[in-house]
Structure 1
Amino acid sequence: MSTREVSLLLAGPSGQLEALYLDLPEARGLALICHPNPVQGGTMLNKVVSTLQRTARDAGFATLRFNYRGVGASAGAHDMATGEVDDAEAAANWLLAQHPELPLSVFGFSFGGYVAASLAARLEAKDVELEKLFMVAPAVTRLGADDAFPQQCTLTVIQPENDEVISPAAVFAWSESLERAHELLKVAECGHFFHGKLTELKDLILPRLSN
């Protein structure tokens, strides 16, 4: 069985979206992965995104990662708001169309955490069942107090304690204020990009995908 992703160009709201897709014949679920801030060089090839993809693959999930508008071969220009969520929704719809019988989980790193949470809320509002949401070092300050937030899926938040990009204190305070059930995992002696900690990140996520 091949575990090599294939390159795709998907139809997006601003034109084509560049993506990498792994189809597992006996997949137990679907994983969509949202990458970090495109203005700061974030792409679907980011090493944290790649770790999330491999972790989902090893748990038996078919995976899809993609570049937002204006990144790589994806058409359009950066929006840094709802436009990237629109892109993620198009990618999710494509993935669900390939495997309508399988449950969807969504992952987001940094800015992608905002995108993933916003997408999850949209999907729930449209009665699309979402199994799990993983927010890794998420840009929680982009989530407004009045913004919809998913309530039905299992939520795991993973935050490095020495994050130099996203304020750990802001993430911890946001977690404390979140009224829905969730799990907050703090990673000690770890910066935003999980240098030297990618194996630990995988070890945190893998059992939560396998249960």
Structure 2
Amino acid sequence: MLGALIDLSNDSGEHSYLIPDTSPVLIPASHGHLEALLREPIVLPRGAVVICHPHPNYGGTMHTKAVYRGAEALSDVGFVALRFNFRGVGASTGSYDGGIGEEDDVLDALNWLQAEYPGLPLIVGGFSFGSLVGMRVGAADSRVSGLFGMGLPINLERYDYSFLSGMEKPVLVVQGERDEFGTGEEAAALITGLGEHIRLVRIPDSDHYFTGCWDELKGALRGYYESGPGFPLMLPV
């Protein structure tokens, strides 16, 4: 189903509009299942995306605002957007596994999405912890054409981003200038050594959670895939 047809017509029946259709799904996993939400675009899909949420131990879920807003923005430009709860979160089975088992969850989500929408280009990314886990899986998966991260946690003693170097897949990073876990300046320094295939968008006055900057976050995602380096990844209009 491409979208929910909502009749907003007047008495003459002249106007009807499609709105994006978001449906709950259960994705099979080695530990049982993953709770997920699938958002379909109002136009013919031109790609499919898996969006990963922030750290489960700190309240991260697929309902986190940046994750929801990311799905909204990517759906707007033609992606089928799948966000899911990692193991042990919400109705997903299993328990937190330090980022290792969570990578398997991303693979399960990608497998499901590819099976449901064969032929669509795949991208993967996420917010905070989810950006690191999602991009790490996507970088190693030949099915994935592109990556994105919102609010990267930048602590080079704890997190290794070297997996982003030496590859041709385009990468988008959206970072708040005042992000408590990695400022815009720190993100720029990190990316400088990783390659020109990475595009950084720094959002002024934004904290880690993009509080009050939802339009800027969505605009960065839309612009990258509507007319930026991410545009060639999608099926033609």
Unaligned runs of 5+ in 1: none
Unaligned runs of 5+ in 2: 5-19, 228-237
Residue 72 of structure 1 aligns to which amino acid in structure 2? G
Structure 1 position 167, deviation (Å): 4.8
Corresponding position of 2:10: none
Residue 37 of structure 2 aligns to which amino acid in structure 1? L
Question: How far apart in 1 are the matches of 2:212 and 2:89?
Answer: 27
TM-score normalized with structure 1 length: 0.90
- Aligned counterpart for 1:66 among listed residues 84, 104, 114: 84
- Aligned counterpart for 1:205 among listed residues 202, 210, 221: 221
Residue 168 of structure 2 aligns to which amino acid in structure 1? Q
Taking only the aligned residue pairs, the percentage that are identical comes to 35
Query: Equivalent residues in 2 for 1:149-164 (5 A)?
Result: 151-164=167-180
Q: Are 1:136 and 2:154 an aligned pair? A: no
Residue 68 of structure 2 aligns to which amino acid in structure 1? S
Structure 1 position 150, deviation (Å): 7.4
Q: Are 1:7 and 2:24 an aligned pair? A: yes
Corresponding position of 1:173: 189
Aligned pairs, how many?
207
Q: Structure 1 residues 161 and 148 mapped into 2: Cα distance closer, same or farther (>3 Å)?
A: closer
Kindly provide the CA deviation profile for residues 158-208 of structure 1, in whole angstroms up to 9, marking residues without a partner as x: 111111234545433321221352111111111011111000111111021
Corresponding position of 2:15: none
Structure 1 position 143, deviation (Å): 3.8
Larger Rg belongs to: 2
- Aligned counterpart for 1:19 among listed residues 36, 47, 58: 36
Question: How far apart in 1 are the matches of 2:124 and 2:162?
Answer: 22
- Are the counterparts in 1 of residues 36 and 84 from structure 2 also a CA contact under 8 Å? yes
Corresponding position of 2:58: 40
Q: Are 1:111 and 2:125 an aligned pair? A: no
Tell me how large the CA RMSD over aligned residues is. Answer: 1.9
Q: Which has the higher helix share?
A: 1
Question: How far apart in 2 are the matches of 1:103 and 1:185?
Answer: 23
Question: How far apart in 2 are the matches of 1:56 and 1:150?
Answer: 26
Residue 50 of structure 1 aligns to which amino acid in structure 2? Y
Indicate the SS of the match to 2:21: coil
Corresponding position of 1:28: 46
- Are the counterparts in 1 of residues 146 and 169 from structure 2 also a CA contact under 8 Å? yes
Question: How far apart in 2 are the matches of 1:175 and 1:70?
Answer: 32
Residue 99 of structure 2 aligns to which amino acid in structure 1? A
Corresponding position of 1:196: 212
